[in-house]
Amino acid sequence: MPISLNPGFALLAAALLVLVAPGGLRAAIAVAAAVAAGALALTPDFGAHDVFRQVGLTVVPLRLDAAAQVFGIAIAGAGVVLGLASAHRRDAFEDAALLAHLGGAMTAIYGGDLVTFVVGAEISILAGAALVLCGRTAGARAAAVRYVFWHALAGALLVGGGGLGWAQTSDVRFDRVDAATPGGVCLLIAVLIRAGGPLAHVWIKDAAPRSGVMGFAALAPVTTTLAVYALIRMFFGVPALAPIGAAAVI
């Protein structure tokens, strides 16, 4: 069964490698993995690659288009900057969590179906919780638990919304969704939680200040960037997003 090399896989592989690599090499591995991920996003032609069916679902491990390419390269660029910035530290666990956080988000961005998107997004979220714990600050453990609660709720809504959509259309493509359907409502609420929308924005204020140095720089930007990409992919042009976005800015 062929599986295309999703660019996010380079960062996920590096996350495992830095756990056993000497301290002096970890920053170089992170930068090299981010550069490789960015290069992989520029190599294939636009379109869906190596689509296959599994348990009745159409899985698209790599779907490349202009939107995915722009957001993916932005994540790769962040990986280069954060990798360089991590050179002075000697925390293998935080380095691995950072790479997994970036790699999960990039995997989700380049996935062409909701299954791949959800798996990548949840890897990123679990790694984000590890980044909060790496802060080792007062209240970091409690903040990590609250962070997981918010994003577990969002994950359950993503799975529920995708399941409702599949039951209705027999399709789990990661594309435009009708926000007026029950599945669309679940997906929209889930993505707004991840984006730090009104009321859900508290997870950003709670978790980011208690995370480590790298976590503070990566946690909210990566998670919210992935959520904005999902809004563009699934709900572009939905009128309700205008007032919601204005409230989020305030």
Instruction: Output b/e per residue, 162-188; b: 16+ Cβ within 10 A.
Output: bebbbeeeeebbbeebbbeeebbbbbb
Residue 170, pLDDT score: 76
Residue 3, pLDDT score: 53
Residue 151, pLDDT score: 93
For 80-99, the DSSP string reads HHHHHHGGG---HHHHHHHH
| pLDDT tens per residue, range 133-163 | 887 877 888 989 999 999 999 999 999 998 8
Q: What sign does the CA torsion over 232, 234, 237, 238 have?
A: negative
Looking at per-residue pLDDT, the higher value among 38 and 49 belongs to 38
Residue 241, pLDDT score: 84
High-pLDDT (> 70) share of the chain, %:
98
The chain-wide mean pLDDT, for the chain, equals 88
| pLDDT tens per residue, range 184-218 | 999 999 999 998 888 888 888 888 888 877 788 88
Residue 192, pLDDT score: 93
Band the pLDDT of 55: cuts 50, 70, 90: low
Tokens of 242: 């205008």
Radius of gyration of the chain (CA): 17
1 pLDDT exceeds 80?
no
Mean pLDDT of 47-57: 76
Tokens of 4: 């295309």
Residue 206, pLDDT score: 85
Rounded alpha-carbon distances, angstroms, from residue 188 to 96, 172, 227, 233, 248: 30, 15, 10, 11, 15
| pLDDT tens per residue, range 94-124 | 899 999 999 999 999 999 899 999 999 999 9
Looking at per-residue pLDDT, the higher value among 2 and 215 belongs to 215
